[in-house]
Amino acid sequence: MTSGKEMAIDLSQPTMVTSDKTAREIFEEVRANPARARFGFGEKLAIINVDPQKSYTRPDLFPKTSYITDPRQMEHINEISMAARAKGLPVVWTHVAYMENAADAGVWGTRTDTPDSLQNIKYDSERHAFDDRVTIDRSVDAVYTKRMPSAFFETPLQSFLTWHKVDTLVITGGSTSGCVRATAVDSLSHGYRTIVPIECVADKHESYHFANLTDLLIKYADVVPVSEVHDAIAGYKA
């Protein structure tokens, strides 16, 4: 029996929404909603470039693990990193690698053991190396090797951001559904305004990419054109 405005719902039936739309179409529909509230940019941002390393960015070298979504991704990453650096804003780069015997790879890294598996990205190997197209200023940029999806996990990132009084993270790199997502969720969990510039992230498959951009946009981050990041950086005083 129901009362007032309560409705009788059959709890034995699924209520999950289904759709014939593609993941890209759903993302564009959600993105176009003018009522969606934003986190926005705060007082000070940092650029977090997640794993732009050859294992993931060079399909000519590593076709099973690499991906290109926007052919200008590395250019966009360089441009916002350079702009932030010029304003004295922190720039961080991460890449993943493991010991020769994979003793530090854990459950995640050792799930599979093929030449293309995570555990076979060895320290100082070509797969560990950053893409030649990215421009890193090692005199001022922070560079961390990580072993798990999130850039926060067992790295100095949190203390680095605290020292620099950062309240906003701009997250780039790949994959959208993997390490970018993990870092974005952790970013919000640590209390940061979280920004994901669309042109600066990539994934292996369109469905993974846009489904995760949709989820990030709805719950965890502002997913915006990279031009908005440029505008925000331009507004900071050096």
Written as tens digits, the pLDDT of the chain (238 aa) is 555 567 778 888 888 888 999 999 999 999 999 888 999 999 999 999 999 999 999 999 999 999 999 999 999 999 999 999 999 999 999 999 999 999 999 999 999 999 999 999 999 999 999 999 999 999 999 999 999 999 999 999 999 999 999 999 999 999 999 999 999 999 999 999 999 999 999 999 999 999 999 999 999 999 999 999 999 999 998 7
pLDDT of residue 3: 56
Model confidence, pTM: 0.94
pLDDT of residue 118: 95
The CB density around residue 205, as the number of other CB atoms within 10 Å, is 14
Domains annotated on the chain, with CATH: 41-234 (3.40.50.850)
pLDDT of residue 170: 99
Active site amino acids: 179
- The three-state (H, E, C) secondary structure of the chain, written as one string: CCCCCCCCCCCCCCCCCCCCCCHHHHHHHHHCCCCCCCCCCCCCEEEEEECCEHHHHCCCCCCCCCCCCCCCHHHHHHHHHHHHHHCCCCEEEEEECECCCCCCCHHHHCCCCCCCCHHHCECCCCCCCECCCCCCCCCCCEEEEECCCCCCCCCCHHHHHHHCCCCEEEEEEECHHHHHHHHHHHHHHCCCEEEEEHHHEECCCHHHHHHHHHHHHHHHCEEECHHHHHHHHHCCCC
pLDDT of residue 4: 59
